[in-house]
Amino acid sequence: MTPFQLVLLSSALTATLVIPAVLWNSRREQRRKGQDMMRTVHRIANERTESQAILASLDIGIVAYGSDNRLIATNPVASEWLTIVPDTLSGFLDRYGTENGMRAAHYLGSEIITGEVSLNDRLLRLVCQHHPVRSSRGRFGGHVVTVQDFTDIMRQEERRKAFVANVSHELKTPLTTIKSYSETLLDWGINEKEPVEIKADIERIYDDSIRMERLIADLLLLSSLDSSG
């Protein structure tokens, strides 16, 4: 066999033995990469599902905008209360932050901006904060808007103010009575009034002091309820 024939035979053997092995290794590497990619896709899908479940379970509204100011997430509460969730942060501030000053504060560079808006018989408190938002590509800058329903809180505050105003008015009446009867007794009543009249005046002072005591107790109870939340 000539040297040239030996070279051809060697090349043929190499092609027969090495190339299939290389192809097998290549296919194995492709399968491994494919499996890694599928695991990554499943992980991202699971994280997204978990995030959506967490957002859906919250009793406050959440709206998240990415670094490009485009909408990337919202939850059912925010969608229900706001009715319309703009696709961009600027659109959100144009719609919900014009009259309450949120848009102006944002363009002035404030990190946290707050405001209130009335929608569909609800008083909503909005808080927009620059916040790192997590995505499949890592963490990047964005904005998160929280939406809280302050309707019941404001109604309770209005009732509290009305109660305090009524109690303040009610306190004036017995206080005026106590003051006037006391002044009368001190000025001339003790010396000039009959004992029966003096006793009646003292009983009136006592009755109004009991009335004031009850009103003050109501105020203290209200104060303790406010402190306990």
Question: Considering the domain 154-228, what is its CATH architecture?
Answer: Orthogonal Bundle (1.10)
Backbone angles phi, psi at 86, to 5 degrees: -60, 155
Beta bridge partners of 119: 122
- Nearest CA to 147 out of 115, 120, 104, 121 is that of 115
| pLDDT score of 133 | 57
The two tokens of residue 62 are 């959440």
Per-residue pLDDT tens over the stretch 115-172: 999 998 899 999 999 876 555 555 567 899 999 998 888 888 888 888 878 877 888 8
96, 126 contact by CB (below 8 A)? yes
Domain residue ranges of the chain, discontinuous segments joined by +: 1-57, 59-149, 154-228
For residue 100, give Cα distances in angstroms to 104, 136, 204.
Answer: 9, 35, 53
CA angle 53, 58, 59 (to 5 degrees): 150
Protein fold of 59-149: Beta-Lactamase (3.30.450)
Spell out, as residue ranges, where the chain has pLDDT lower than 50: 2-9, 11-19, 22-24, 41-42, 44-45
- Nearest CA to 56 out of 31, 77, 39 is that of 77
| pLDDT score of 137 | 56
Q: 226: helix, coil or strand?
A: helix
